[in-house]
Structure 1
Amino acid sequence: MIPYGKQEITQQDIDSVVTVLQSDFLTQGPKVPEFENLLSVHTGATHALAVNSATSALHIACLALGLGEGDWLWTSPITFVASANCGLYCGAQIDFVDIDPDTYNMCPKRLEEKLIKAKAEDKLPKVVVPVHLCGQPCDMEAIGRLAKEYGFKVIEDASHAIGGQYHGKPIGNCEFSDITVFSFHPVKIITTAEGGAVVTNSKVLANKMALLRSHGITRDTAQMEGPSHGAWYYQQVDLGFNYRMTELQGALGVTQIQRLEQFIKARHYLANRYNDLLKALPVILPYQLENTYSGLHLYVIRLKLDEISLTHQQVFNALRENGIGVNLHYIPIHTQPYYQKMGFNVGDFPVAEQYYREAISLPMYHTMTVAQQDEVMQVLTRILAAKVQN
């Protein structure tokens, strides 16, 4: 089976982790800060904090921005459920903004229309979470302009997008957002096994998130109430969580991020090759927003179902049955049973639902060979040409 995504672990990665295993620190040592520094250097953001997952990163980002009961968080319906669940963790209410039919990201026009209506109803969001689906940057300048006009905070969910660029600058520089979140799950562009990070240019937000990721505990006397009792002393000054990244993960992150540019170049080579090989088939190819450079975590095609004999599900199943490990990113969140119980219905976000009926994620990972890509193409071409058997 050719998987849709796959990590690469080299001897350098293994040696780095083994060195940590043989050291005095398996957690809270020097490797996580080293990885955080590399993230800061790469993105240009002033502060970077590594955590144990992108879900944890989203959670503490929301809390740091003061999201709570009575507030609203808006995000895209086409993303993993964590992009919305983070608001529920804080007691907030969730809503969605339909996607752009070309980029599959949150549509700025739909966002503005929804903001005008929400302002009239006194239901403006406190936080908006645009998601850089597949690594393709959202139109952050437009979203940032609306944030200033309507007074909401922005968390970029860049779980798919490290290594990408928007207007010539690295995703994560937070020019148009308050916080950016990354994921380092094994199928992502770089991996720390499980793991994630938040980056921001705000020292206040960084300090708040640092507290939240480690039980709300500090040894910084400047954050304490009253004098320290001694060198052993710490205080819990907030209600936090154990969201820390281990030294093993940090060590892996250090070696992985050193190869990030290499990973992204390989993905772009494969994507350009897909674009050329697929152009004669009845599919819609990925669109690239002007003046952006995708991280290309995923390569998503949309089937032109009126030009083929098989259904979406039949094409998907046939690909898997022939050893092509395709996937579908994502099921619209508002159609999930948990969210339907909140009052969301099929039909609420029609562009997202149309995307779901047609989308398939083809295999895309930087170690994928030309021979493997050719096999994907041969199988896909044969399936799309098939006729329905009576």
Structure 2
Amino acid sequence: MPRHAGQAVPALVETVYREQSRRILATLIRLLGDFDLAEEAMHEAFFIAVERWQRDGVPDNPRAWLVSVGRFKAIDGLRRRARFAASQAALARQLEQLEQTEWSEDDVEDDRLRLIFTCCHPALAADAQVPLTLREICDLSTEQIARAFLTAPATIAQRIVRAKAKIREAKIPYQVPSLGELPERLDSVLRVIYLVFNEGYSASVGTELTRDELTREAIRLGRLLLELLPEPEVMGLLALMLLHESRRPARVSVTGELVLLDEQDRRLWNAELIVEGCALVERALGTRRFGVYCLQAAIAAVHAEAPTAGQTDWAQIVGLYDVLLRALPSPVIELNRAVALAQRDGPQAGLEQVEALLARGELQDYHLAHSARAEFCRQLGHDEQAREAYLRALQLTRQDPERRFLERRLAALPPSL
């Protein structure tokens, strides 16, 4: 990275933090063996970088520089504590071990995958594995994670704290498990990687619709996992991410506005990713041992292979959703099926399904359910019901592009009587 003028350094440090902080944290966690110590060390390293890089220039490898400074600061802090702590012997042993640990930039690329497997270790409570990983890998707040799991933030925070303590006390290693151990850890790891991708593909909060650093990282982790374990569901997950990612350039207009699937310029879709994703789907389905990720990837492949929105094979998509629902009953999947059903059988069929879902209460706080209801009501000419549903969706969404999209839809309705 070239050297930058002093006034540009704070913005550069902020960019490096946004794009690299979770990789840096993963390496520091492996080197220091403690989540909280690593997080403190990372933040101190970034704080020091603002001053040092303005004075001395930006290093050629900012990530390696930040890891080295963070590690040094953590060791220095432990050394100072050891002078006064009653448990000097234990701290001395920890210091000796940390000082002897060597690392190289070559190790860093796999550190986030190592950390995911650590967070998904079977010794940890099942309900803590995914929240812990999303916190440490994806840098989601406890509030964001709580919304994803429809759980109170305090409950999520307690699970994360207990999981960190368990890793420290049980000395759970920061490593990718052996081939024999991989299968039992696979479901949680696949789920985590997909949640990271989803947060990048459709950010839960903020001014941007997407976070491409997260989608790229999730796909990289998916490729690494496929090398380790070429199982059908790993192929399916990677295919699903590639096929969704192929559409990302068309999902946002040049002004940053959300563009719906049927309105996207398909010339902007990435043909290479579509070819790779469809080949993986075919390979996975050919094993006859496929699961939920393969089925979702098959649905994405049907969309990807349609030359235009009007030529989409909605009957096949509805059929795939039927199979998927048998494998994984879920109100969100039911909602997606209702949208496909509306395309096949008309908006009234979709509206009936969505209203039945909302009546059950499971999706009352899910903005996309109210947005779908609004769309169907609008298409049917039920303007007041559409207005009510759009307003409810607006109350629930926390993403600026989605908010602006809903406001445009609302403004386009005929004036209220």
TM-score class, shorter: under 0.3
Q: Which has the higher strand share?
A: 1
**Structure with the bigger percentage of helix:** 2
Name the TM-score, length of structure 2 as normaliser. 0.24
Of structures 1 and 2, the one scoring higher in RCO (CA 8 A, sep 6+) is 1
| Structure of higher CA gyration radius | 2
